[in-house]
């Protein structure tokens, strides 16, 4: 199964009423050299300035991004080109990231190549450590910058650490 680490930046708390502004994805393997970066034009007139500020873009900049349907089709093609088997969606905060990716795939392409499930990296680490108060973020090598490719990369590095150093049994093929 192809493990794909994803991170999303948005201008509000939910898809549809607000917009996914950008997202990054990394194929989790030893090379970590296959990445995707999408910047999407807002689909709604609603936006929360403090939420958008996290992305590092202004509203005016986002209005010049690519159409969401185009970016999602490019992402689907990238997933298909980089997955020899069913892709698995992983993220640091899958409750947030998953809702946007799933909604955008279903809304614009009528299907989600990830199916209908996702995995939360933080919960996985808590299970490995058998401690609900443990946090995996110290396992990242790449600094968390709110550039979604950087953030997905750091999370992919943490997952590889869990596999290679902590004995997590996971197939990355």
Tell me the pLDDT tens digit for each residue of 123-162.
Answer: 999 999 999 999 999 999 999 999 999 999 999 999 999 9
25 contacts 78 by C-beta, under 8 angstroms: yes
Angle at 44 between CA 40 and CA 49, to 5 degrees: 85
Q: How far is 30 from 109, CA to CA, in rounded Å?
A: 31
pTM for this prediction:
0.97
**Domains present along the chain, CATH in parentheses:** 2-164 (3.30.420.10)
Q: Which two tokens stand for residue 67?
A: 């159409």
Q: What is the average pLDDT score of the chain?
A: 97
Residue 54: half-sphere exposure toward Cβ, Cα within 13 Å = 19
Q: Is 146 a catalytic residue?
A: yes
User: What are the residues whose beta carbons fall under 8 Å from the beta carbon of 99, sequence distance 6 or more?
Assistant: 14, 15
Candidates 107, 138, 144, 146; catalytic one: 146
> pLDDT per residue over 80-125, tens digit each?
999 988 899 999 999 999 999 999 999 999 999 999 999 999 999 9
- Residue 1 in this model has a pLDDT that exceeds 80: no
Closest CA to 160 of 125, 132, 131, 113: 125
- Helical (H) or strand (E) element with 8: strand 2-10
């Amino acid at each position: 199964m192809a493990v794909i680490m994803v991170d999303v930046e948005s201008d509000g708390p939910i898809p549809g009423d607000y917009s996914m502004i950008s997202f990054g994805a990394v194929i989790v393997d030893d090379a970590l050299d296959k990445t995707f970066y999408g910047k999407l034009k807002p689909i709604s007139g609603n936006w929360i300035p403090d939420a958008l500020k996290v992305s590092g873009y202004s509203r005016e900049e986002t209005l010049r991004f690519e159409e969401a349907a185009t970016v999602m089709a490019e992402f689907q093609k990238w997933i298909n080109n980089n997955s020899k088997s069913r892709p698995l969606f992983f993220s640091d905060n899958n409750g947030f990231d998953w809702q946007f990716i799933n909604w955008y795939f279903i809304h614009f392409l009528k299907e989600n190549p990830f199916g209908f499930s996702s995995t939360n990296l933080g919960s996985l680490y808590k299970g490995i450590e058998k401690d609900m108060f443990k946090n995996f973020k110290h396992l990242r090598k790449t600094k968390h910058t709110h550039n979604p490719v950087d953030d997905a990369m750091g999370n992919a590095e943490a997952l590889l650490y869990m596999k290679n150093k902590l004995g997590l049994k996971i197939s990355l093929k």
